[in-house]
Every structure is written in C-alpha cells, then in structure tokens.
C-alpha cells in the first residue's frame, strides 16, 4: 500500500541547489559578522541576522537535513558571542523537545492498533456510499485526530485504508474523482488539524516557546478553543471545494464490502486497543485540566503517558518500534530552533528587521496588516519544505511586526504562520505530506492547486478578521 516512487527533480539539479544554498548561507553569515553594525544594531544583533538569513537559505535550499542545519547554527551562536555555550546546552532539552519526544510515542502506539481501521469502517457505514458524506467524514475525522497526533502519523494510519478500498473497488488512478478527492483531502486534513492543539505539530511548540519568551503563556485549553474553529472552517471550505470541482462518484458496493470484510476480520476490540484508548483519552483530558491545575504540566502528563505505554501488562510500544517511528529530524529541530530564533529576537535584531521592512504597516488597521502579512506568509510558505521551519522563520518576524502595529496583536500575528504551516493547499513539491499521497497517482499538481485556490483566498480574509476578534476574547 505504499505510494509509488516519486519522480522529482533530477539529482544534478538538486545538487546545484544545495551547493548554491551552502555558499549563499556562508556568505550571509560571514558578511553580517564581519561588517560593522548597522545603525540601531549591536554586533550580536548583526551576527544573529546573519544566522537568521543563513537559516532561511539552508531551509529553503534543503542543503542538509533540517536537524543538521539547526544544530550547526545553534552551536555557532556562542562563537559569534550571541549567547553562551552553557545556555545553549541548558536550553536545548527544554519542555518543547521532551513534549514532542513523548507525543511521538502516543502516535506510534495508536498506529499499532486496529482503531484507524475501525474508524474508517464506521465512516464508510454512515456514508452508505454517498461520496459527499465520505469526503466530509474522512477529512473532518483526520483533522480532529491530527490535532492530538503527529500529522504524518495520522496520514499513514488512514492512507493504507483509503488506498485499499479504492483499489478493491477498481477506482483507478487518474480516473476516479472520489480517489482524487480523498487523496488530496487526506494530507490537507492531517496538516490542517495540526493547528488545533500544541500537541498537533512541532511548529506549534516552537511558536509557543517564542511567545513564552515574550511573556505570553497560552494554556492547552486556550490554544484548543482559540484554534479549533479556524481549522474546522478551513476543512469545511476545502471539502466543499473538492466536491464542487471534482464531483466524486458514489462509492461502489464492492469497496464498501471490502472495508466491512476487513473490519469483520478484526473481531471484537482487544485489550490492547482498549488500553490505548484509555491512555490517550486520559492524556488529552489531563492536558485540558492543566489549565486549572498547574501540577498537570502538559509535558509531565505526556511523559507519564509515554512511560505507561512501555509498562509490563500494557506493552503498547517497545523501544525499537519507537526509534523506527519517531521523526528524529523534527525532534532535533525543535530542540535547537527555539534557541537559534530566540537569540535573533532577544538581541533586538528581529524588531530591527521588522521596523526596516514593515514600518509602513504602522498606520494601517490591524485587519489590513493581517491581510497583507497573511497573504505573504501563505504564499511564501510554499518555498519552505516543512511546517516547523515555517514557524521558526516567520513567528519571530510576526513578533517584530507586533512591536510596530501594537503588542496586543502579538498572538494573532504569531498564529498566522502557525496556521498556514499546516493548512497550505497550494503547490505540491514543497510539502512532504502531499508528495506521499501524490505517489499513488490519483491527482496532479494542477488538481491540488485548483482545489486549494478559493479556500486559501477565503481563509486569508477569514483569518485577518477572525484572529484579532476571536483571540481578543481570550485576552490575546
């Protein structure tokens, strides 16, 4: 059920891109550390700008794995007197790092159960072959699950099931409109759902850490209530667009029968599934309860759940499975990127950049500012390969813009890149979750662009009006 091998850029082109990115990053970092400081900047601020710009080039050109780029830049910070080596080492293993570390275990444990298959059978049953209900059902379910599990983990859990009943029903790639809707909609939903809670995406933890450095603390419940409506609105818009544009055919009886046959083979729910459900539901409830009970720190709760999954008599995970399923690239990135980008912010460099580039925004209404920066972030996001790096690059810039237009809008502005990091549905070749389902051959890059164009434009407007008004009700 794995997607066919992708035909991407040729090796020589990729190599040239990486070499160019490496040279450009070195020139930027060296230039900003050797030049005398610009007016309004310290030497540390100049150096941090060089590191920040170098990071952008390394991320966009994919010179090295994200973790390697971030870790390298992190250890360069003391060399340029931006921070101390002791502080770098002390801050690396912060709460964000361990929270993501523990959450990979939760996702892995669920993927080892039959729960995703049972959910898919339930959606198929209530749809009764109606393609509209099927598209809405899968997209909304994947969106909600991805709010508490890793985006890619949620994608993998549902992809095999969707691929199985499309194939068993003879719905051929390139011909089936239902297959097109589901294969485009599934990765979108998994990315979009990551916005729902701090546990939904490593980029959320990066943003949360950067906001905490500004003295802004958002609890798990606050994040959930603030962000859930926008993820659901975007899911609704994309579902409507997919159905309206591609007009999916009804699900054949053969496909429904194949799903029910697979479900019947499972029999009743085993103890393993029941344990997983109890631990995961309890973990989420304790995350919410942490809003009122300080002892229920989200990272501590995730750590306890992680511990339980390995205990004798529970055994939902083993260490080899965890090592295989955890995304170590993202894990290392979360540990290092908050340090790197936090230094850019603490030296005053990001405020300086925002003042020089966006000072004209100071006289505009917040809605106009949100429209402009929302459109810029949304479409620049397609140049950046992963969601966490979007947060790493743009959240500090948004914090700097807030210094110009009003610090009361720090959270609405900072949440723009967090939202578009996962909700993007524009271009294919810069987003790994779309590349995964694209390999099955059911849709083209143009199909993806057509499906996302109107929902994206509408959501830029909804975010511009909605974020300041809705977040303001919660004191942000």
Total count of residues recorded for the chain: 476
Q: Mean pLDDT lowest for which of 109-118, 304-313, 447-456?
A: 109-118
Q: Which residue has the tokens 């723009």?
A: 416
Give the Cβ contact number of residue 336 at 10 Å. Answer: 26
* Nearest CA among 103, 115, 102, 329 for reference residue 200: 103
Whether 74 is covered by a domain: the verdict is: yes
- What's the DSSP call for residue 326? S
Please tell me which of 241-250, 257-266, 327-336 the model is most confident about, judged by mean pLDDT: 241-250
Whether 37 is covered by a domain: the verdict is: yes
Residue 6 pLDDT > 50, yes or no? Answer: no
pLDDT of residue 393: 81
Rounded-to-integer distance, Cα 289 and Cα 221, Å: 8
59 CB contacts (<8 Å, ≥6 apart)?
66, 69, 384, 385, 386, 389, 392, 393
pLDDT of residue 429: 54
Whether 82 is covered by a domain: the verdict is: yes
Contact criterion met (CB below 8 Å) for 290 and 297: yes
Q: Mean pLDDT lowest for which of 170-174, 241-245, 454-458?
A: 170-174
Q: What is the DSSP string of 143-208?
A: HHHHTTS-HHHHHHHHHHHHHHHHHHTT--TTT-HHHHHHHHHHHHHHHHHTTSSGGG-HHHHHHH
Task: Provide the mean pLDDT of the chain.
Answer: 83
pLDDT of residue 168: 67
- What's the DSSP call for residue 7? -
3-class SS at 317?
coil
- What's the DSSP call for residue 365? -
pLDDT of residue 93: 66
Whether 16 is covered by a domain: the verdict is: yes
Rounded-to-integer distance, Cα 10 and Cα 332, Å: 28
- Give the pLDDT band (50/70/90) at residue 8: very low
Find the mean pLDDT for residues 183-203.
89
Whether 14 is covered by a domain: the verdict is: yes
Output the CA–CA distances (angstroms, integers) from residue 435 to 6, 125, 157, 217, 472, in the order listed: 8, 29, 16, 35, 37
Find the mean pLDDT for residues 234-257.
87
Find the mean pLDDT for residues 198-211.
85
Q: Which residue has the tokens 């850029």?
A: 9
**Domain residues for 49?**
1-91
62 CB contacts (<8 Å, ≥6 apart)?
17, 18, 21, 385
Please tell me which of 199-208, 254-263, 348-357, 431-440 the model is most confident about, judged by mean pLDDT: 199-208
Helix locations, 37-130, DSSP H: 43-61, 66-76, 85-92, 95-111, 115-127
- Give the pLDDT band (50/70/90) at residue 126: confident
Q: Which residue has the tokens 């977040």?
A: 471
pLDDT tens column, 356-402 = 777 778 778 899 999 999 998 888 887 776 777 788 888 888 988 88
Q: Mean pLDDT lowest for which of 316-320, 384-388, 448-452, 463-467?
A: 384-388
Whether 62 is covered by a domain: the verdict is: yes
Whether 70 is covered by a domain: the verdict is: yes
Domain total in the chain: 1
pLDDT tens column, 389-435 = 788 888 888 988 888 888 899 999 999 999 998 888 876 555 667 87
Whether 38 is covered by a domain: the verdict is: yes
Tokens of 166: 């499309």
């Amino acid at each position: 059920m794995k997607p066919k091998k992708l035909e991407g850029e040729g090796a020589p082109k990729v190599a040239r891109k990486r070499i160019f990115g490496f040279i450009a990053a070195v020139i930027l970092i060296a230039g900003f550390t050797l030049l005398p400081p610009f007016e309004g900047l310290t030497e540390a601020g100049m150096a941090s700008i060089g590191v920040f710009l170098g990071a952008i080039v390394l991320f966009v050109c994919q010179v090295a794995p994200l973790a390697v780029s971030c870790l390298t830049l992190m250890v360069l910070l003391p060399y340029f007197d931006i921070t101390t080596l002791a502080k770098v080492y002390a801050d690396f293993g912060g709460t964000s790092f361990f929270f993501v570390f523990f959450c990979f275990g939760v996702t892995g444990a669920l993927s080892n159960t039959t729960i995703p298959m049972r959910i898919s059978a339930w959606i198929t049953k209530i749809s009764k072959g109606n393609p509209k209900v099927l598209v809405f059902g899968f997209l909304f379910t994947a969106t909600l699950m991805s709010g508490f599990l890793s985006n890619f983990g949620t994608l993998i859990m549902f992809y095999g099931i969707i691929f199985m009943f499309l194939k068993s029903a003879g719905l051929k790639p390139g011909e089936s409109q239902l297959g097109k809707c589901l294969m485009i909609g599934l990765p979108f939903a998994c990315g979009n759902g990551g916005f729902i809670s701090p546990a939904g995406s490593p980029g959320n933890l990066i943003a949360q850490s950067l906001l905490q450095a500004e003295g802004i603390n958002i609890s798990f419940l606050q994040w959930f209530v603030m962000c859930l409506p926008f993820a659901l609105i975007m899911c609704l818009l994309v579902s409507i667009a997919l159905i309206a544009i591609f007009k999916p055919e009804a699900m054949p009886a053969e496909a429904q029968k194949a799903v029910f046959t697979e479900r019947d083979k499972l029999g009743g729910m085993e103890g393993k599934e029941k344990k997983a459900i109890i631990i995961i539901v309890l973990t989420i409830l304790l995350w919410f309860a942490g809003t009122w009970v300080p002892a229920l720190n989200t990272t501590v709760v995730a750590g306890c759940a992680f511990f339980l999954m390995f205990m004798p008599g529970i055994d939902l995970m083993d260490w080899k499975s965890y090592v295989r399923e955890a995304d170590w690239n993202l894990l290392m990135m979360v540990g290092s990127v908050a340090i790197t980008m936090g230094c850019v912010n603490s030296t005053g460099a990001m405020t300086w950049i925002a003042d020089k580039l966006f000072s004209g925004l100071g006289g505009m209404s917040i809605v106009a500012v949100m429209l402009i920066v929302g459109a810029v972030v949304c479409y620049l996001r397609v140049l950046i390969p992963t969601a966490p790096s979007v947060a790493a690059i743009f959240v500090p810039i948004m914090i700097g813009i807030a210094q110009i237009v009003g610090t009361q809008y720090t959270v609405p502005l900072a949440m723009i890149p967090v939202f578009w990091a996962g909700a993007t549905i524009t271009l294919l070749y810069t987003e790994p979750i779309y590349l995964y389902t694209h390999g099955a051959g059911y849709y083209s890059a143009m199909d993806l662009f057509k499906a996302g164009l109107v929902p994206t434009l509408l959501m830029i407007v909804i975010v511009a009006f909605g974020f300041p008004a809705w977040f303001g009700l919660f004191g942000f």
